[in-house]
Amino acid sequence: MKRSWEYIKFVLLFGLVVFLFSFTKQRNGSRNLTKINIEFLDENSPFITRNTVNKLLIQNYDSVTSIRKDKLVLKEVESRLLENEMILDAEVYINLNGSLGAKITQRNPLGRVAASPDYYIDDRGERMPLSVVYTARVPLVTGVSESNFKKVTPLLRAIDGDPFMKSSVIGLELQQNGNIELRLRKHNFKVLFGKPEAIANKFQNFKAFYKKTKQDNKLSSYKLVNLQFGDQVVATKI
């Protein structure tokens, strides 16, 4: 009898817990959201405004406080965000306090293609439209189309990852023979980089040449620097 009573108490207690859990969940789900928290995870300046993200999050609603928590389908909201051409990744969630959160990772442009209209090449080697909010300070790329992005993207990635080259290179031209020519900030001479091969070695050679020539105050006496010959730098004077 004692064992039966303990079993009955366990069933009643378990039933009470289930009831309270279901009641709390239903009550919590029927509540409206309270606010929106938007977080940009990348280091880029915003190519998309918080206001635009806000509108994508609450599309078809007047405000976030008019949305019931149990009526919001997070996967659908994430899909809307990912349709925006400035966004690479998005995570949408609801906090226990009822706030709607969004973690946004933007696309990363590496070069601006001179076209009509201009557009960017991002770090995945894909076309990215210009932003009306912010203009990225990246090299101007000429002589390319979407069909040959792969020929310049590795070099653009390397330039972006090298502080000296990133601050120095303002232009990149893909020539018909597949060679690449660089244009520099504050200097008139051109840099014939050649094929996008042995990139790190060519960067090292060029930086050594640049440092030595600058120390000798002779940078202005050159019109072309050729990096195509292994460990040699062939420089042509004016």
Strand, helix or coil at 86? coil
In the chain the first and final C-alpha atoms are separated, in Å, by: 108
Sign of the four-CA dihedral 137, 138, 141, 146: negative
pLDDT for the residue 30: 47
State pTM to two decimals.
Answer: 0.80
How long a stretch of residues is the chain?
238
Residue 48 DSSP label: S
Instruction: Calculate mean pLDDT across residues 61-70.
Output: 77
pLDDT for the residue 230: 78
Q: What is the mean pLDDT of the chain?
A: 86
Q: Rounded to 10 degrees, what is the CA torsion of 166, 168, 171, 177?
A: -90
Residue 68 DSSP label: B
Sheet holding 36-40, edge to edge: 36-40, 100-106, 87-94
Helices (H), the chain: 2-29, 50-57, 74-82, 153-160, 163-168, 199-215
CATH number assigned to the domain covering 109-237: 3.40.50.11690
pLDDT for the residue 133: 93
64: closest CA among 96, 28, 34?
34
Higher pLDDT, 73 or 64: 73
Query: 104-159, pLDDT tens digit by residue?
Result: 999 999 999 999 999 999 999 999 999 999 999 999 999 999 989 999 999 999 99
188/140 Cα distance (integer angstroms): 16
150/144 Cα distance (integer angstroms): 10
166/155 Cα distance (integer angstroms): 11
Backbone angles phi, psi at 67, to 5 degrees: -105, 125
Do the beta carbons of residue 175 and residue 181 sit within 8 Å? yes
What are the CA-CA distances from residue 206 to residues 51, 68, 178, 185, 233 (Å)?
44, 60, 20, 15, 7
Instruction: Calculate mean pLDDT across residues 166-184.
Output: 95
Q: Interior CA angle at 193 toward 191 and 198, to 5°?
A: 145
